[in-house]
Amino acid sequence: MIPSELSTEWKTALSVAWSAYIAVLSVWIVMQRRAPVSTLGWILSLALLPYLGFGIYYFFGPQRLKKTRLKRLRSRAIAHSRDDAALLREAAEHAPEPLRQMAALGRAACGLPVSSATGVRLLSGGARTFDAIFEAVAAARDHVHLEYYIFEPDRIGTRLRDLLVERARAGVTVRLLIDALGSKRVGRRFLAPLLAAGAQVGFFHHSRIGRRLRPVTNYRTHRKIVVCDGVIGFTGGVNITDEEDPRTRPDAYHDVHVRIEGAAVRWLQTTFIEDWAYATGERVRDPDAQLSRYLPAAEPGAIPVQIVTSGPDTPLEAIHRMHVDAIHNATHRAWLTTPYFVPGEPALMALTNAALRGVDVRLLVPRRSDSLIVSAAARSYFDELIAAGVKVWEYKARMLHSKTLVIDDQCAMIGTANFDNRSFRLNFEVMAVVYGPALAGPLAGQFETDLGSAAPVRHGRRQPFWRRLGDAVARLFSPLL
């Protein structure tokens, strides 16, 4: 038996130690200056879940990341961009002032200016996307750079790997950067033929202990980038997986991608090279020769294109800002497609404000996404959106995975970012903004086609109590989704 006096002393000591533990960790979390709701949530978790709460925070909590921009690379790309400055100035003279301001916002938030393209092609569905990528890779003569969140060692992944092996054996430089968590099924046996052919493979943010003092479980590269010879580039929502190929799976995700040709590709290239340097630690040897090779001179095009990037290495949330600003500037149309709809207050206010002032605001989401909690959280916003005049549709046919926004007839956005906090704040994302009708028209047509497989959500629809309760509870987790 422990004497009562000793027991009291132990209780006092434990209370003091526990209070000190909470105080120190609270100061640590508060000093990171994250969103108030997120900060309070983590503090409460640490206080209510001793030891377990610290473990969760250690593995899943926010971390400070520093991802260096390659200044020389960006300077060379900007110098090349001056070649089509006259064309862009001419286009700007005919562009509405809000679009010019939006382009300035994008450059200030992520450092990438408006460039131009000689061609922009919308690719609807995984089959068309894979065919176009395979064609470009097969035609590459100098280099192929690929960055993906999900690269599966399945049928389509094996086909692409084998094509990359063939290109590497032909003397083409092949670099493949994949996310260590999203592509966790890719192993040594799958990569062996690629490495034997001379290709290079990098993994973004290993999540295993031992790779670094604190493993990274958040902050994934969600980017999908392909660059061939520095003049043809791809981005959008399609990952390398049979789940996106209807030729293999009838229930494949419905998704879109974009093929860009011309000067704007240099900014996809810049993004890839910076990510590669960050993930692999590789230093550029003979930078002038490397930059001339990877940033070749490109003929100015007639289509203004801006590549916009965002990630947890900067607090500016460039893609989030661009979405909100674009919706605020819409005059007659704002059509948004996203698989995960969990908006923060600024984004929600932008959508409802636009609808209240008479803009045709439409939201297309999957009836059921591959995350039940995200689907439930999304439903919790429908009533207030519809009450403000937003038209909401649920895509019924398959899992909808497209991430697009059409503003009026003069702006189209397509990229990797979902309309949620995880994409806007936690993941590394990329987006192509095409000014003018070149992509806005085709993307609006795709949106209307997709509505043919969707059902409108009615205001005041009957739902069982358990579903309404579940949706409301899921909404509580919106800052973390």
Specify the pLDDT at position 65: 59
Place 351 in a pLDDT band, splitting at 50, 70 and 90.
very high
The H or E element that residue 143 is part of is: strand 143-148
Specify the pLDDT at position 63: 57
Specify the pLDDT at position 282: 79
In one-letter notation, the amino acid at residue 401 is H
Helix, strand, coil percent values for the chain (each to nearest 5): 45, 20, 35
Identify the burial level of 63 via C-beta atoms within 10 angstroms of its C-beta, where 0-12 means exposed, 13-18 middle and 19 or more buried. middle
Q: Within 13 Å and on the Cβ side, how many CA atoms surround 89? A: 6
Mean pLDDT for the stretch of residues 214-241: 89
- Residue 59 predicted with pLDDT over 60: no
Specify the pLDDT at position 321: 97
Place 32 in a pLDDT band, splitting at 50, 70 and 90.
low
**Residue showing tokens 């290079």:** 200
d(CA 170, CA 130): 21
Specify the pLDDT at position 236: 97
Mean pLDDT for the stretch of residues 79-88: 60
Spatial contact of 419 and 338, defined as CB atoms under 8 Å apart: yes
pLDDT tens sequence across 117-131 = 999 999 999 999 999
Active site residues: 222, 224, 229, 401, 403, 408
- Residue 91 predicted with pLDDT over 50: yes
d(CA 387, CA 380): 13
- Residue 153 predicted with pLDDT over 90: yes
Specify the pLDDT at position 1: 47
Place 358 in a pLDDT band, splitting at 50, 70 and 90.
very high
Cβ contacts of residue 204 below 8 Å, gap of 6+?
Answer: 147, 177, 178, 179, 180, 220, 221, 275, 279, 428
Specify the pLDDT at position 20: 75
pLDDT tens sequence across 196-210 = 999 999 999 876 544
Which of 157-171, 375-389, 397-411, 464-478 is predicted least confidently?
Answer: 464-478
Q: What is the mean pLDDT of the chain?
A: 85
Phi, psi of 270 (to 5 degrees): -60, -45
Specify the pLDDT at position 213: 47
d(CA 467, CA 427): 30
- Which of 21-30, 85-94, 189-198 reaches the highest mean pLDDT? 189-198
- β-strands 225-228, 232-236: how paired? antiparallel
Share of the chain above pLDDT 90, in %: 58
Specify the pLDDT at position 231: 95
pLDDT tens sequence across 315-344 = 899 999 999 999 999 999 999 999 999 998
Q: Tokens representing 218?
A: 């958040």
pLDDT tens sequence across 259-317 = 999 999 999 999 999 999 889 887 766 666 677 789 888 888 889 999 999 998 888 99
d(CA 74, CA 70): 6
Where b means 16+ CB within 10 Å and e means fewer, 82-111 reads eebeebbeebbeebeebbeebbebbeebbb
pLDDT tens sequence across 422-479 = 899 889 999 999 999 999 999 999 999 999 999 999 877 777 766 666 666 666 666 5
Phi, psi of 396 (to 5 degrees): -100, -30
Name which residue leads in pLDDT, 81 or 318: 318
- Residue 406 predicted with pLDDT over 70: yes
Q: Tokens representing 469?
A: 């309760």
Share of the chain above pLDDT 70, in %: 76
Specify the pLDDT at position 52: 58
Specify the pLDDT at position 211: 47
Place 95 in a pLDDT band, splitting at 50, 70 and 90.
low
Domains of the chain: 18-55 (no CATH), 71-94+118-301 (3.30.870.10), 318-480 (3.30.870.10)
Specify the pLDDT at position 9: 73
Cβ contacts of residue 39 below 8 Å, gap of 6+?
Answer: 29, 30, 32
Specify the pLDDT at position 4: 55
The H or E element that residue 126 is part of is: helix 126-139
Place 55 in a pLDDT band, splitting at 50, 70 and 90.
low
